Amino acid sequence: MLNGPNLRRLGTREPDVYGAASFDDLVALCRDAARHLDLHAEVRQTDDEAEMVRWVHQAADERLPIIINPAAFTHYSYALRDALAQRTAPLIEVHISNPAAREEFRHTSVVAGVATGTIAGFGLMSYVLALQAVAELIAEKKV
C-alpha cells in the first residue's frame, strides 16, 4: 500500500476533508483488515516522487498487487503513471476524499487509466474496500 505526499500528516492536515485519524491509525487499520483477508499489507508513505516510482518498479518485479493513494501525484505525475503501467498484478487507486467533488484540478487522475479500478470518497474505509477488491481479484486468479 503506497501513499503519496502529505499523507503522513493525516489527522492534522485538513481534518474536515481527511478526518481526524492519524497515519499510524491508517497503518493499523490496513494491517488489521489485510490480516482478516489472509493478506499481508506493507504500508508505505513518501513525499518523494522518485522513491514512489522505485517502489512501484519493485512491486512490478515481484508481481505484487498495489493499492496506491498517489495524493498530489494523481494529477500530474506522468513518471508515476508510466511506472504503474508496468504493473504485473492488480492495481487499485484509492482516495480518502472524493476528488470529483473537490477543486477542479483534482478531477483528473493521470494514473486511473492504468489502474484496475479506483475507490474514492469513503474516508479510510477506501483502503479496506481496496484490500477486499485485491483479495477477490487474487481469489479469481486461483480458480
- From the centroid of its chain, how far is CA 73? 11
DSSP letter for 89, please.
S
Range of the domain at 116: 2-142
pLDDT of residue 18: 66
Is 67 annotated as belonging to a binding site? no
| pLDDT above 80 for 85 | yes
| pLDDT above 90 for 16 | no
Report yes or no: 131 and 34 within 8 Å, Cβ to Cβ: yes
Report yes or no: 10 and 21 within 8 Å, Cβ to Cβ: yes
Active site residue 95: yes
Averaged pLDDT of the chain = 92
pLDDT of residue 31: 97
Catalytic choice (76, 95, 107, 127)? 95
pLDDT of residue 29: 97
What is the mean pLDDT of the segment spanning 35-51? 97
Distances (CA, A) of 124 to 17, 33, 43, 73: 11, 11, 13, 19
pLDDT of residue 138: 94
Q: Which residues contact 78 (CB under 8 A, 6 or more apart)?
A: 110
For the segment 87-118, what is each residue's pLDDT rounded down to a tens digit?
999 999 999 988 876 778 777 899 999 999 99
Active site residue 18: yes
How far is Cα 107 from Cα 28, in angstroms, rounded to an integer? 29
Into how many domains does the chain fold?
Answer: 1
pLDDT of residue 4: 96
Is 82 annotated as belonging to a binding site? yes
Is 68 annotated as belonging to a binding site? no
pLDDT of residue 101: 66
CATH of the domain at 9: 3.40.50.9100
> Would you place residue 21 in the very low, low, confident or very high pLDDT band (cuts 50, 70, 90)?
confident
Query: Listing from the earlier edge strand, what are the strands of the sheet with 66-69?
Result: 44-45, 2-3, 66-69, 91-95, 117-120
Is 69 annotated as belonging to a binding site? yes
| pLDDT above 50 for 143 | no
Report yes or no: 116 and 91 within 8 Å, Cβ to Cβ: yes
Sign of CA dihedral 115, 96, 6, 137: negative
**E strands present in the chain:** 2-3, 44-45, 66-69, 91-95, 117-120
> Would you place residue 142 in the very low, low, confident or very high pLDDT band (cuts 50, 70, 90)?
low
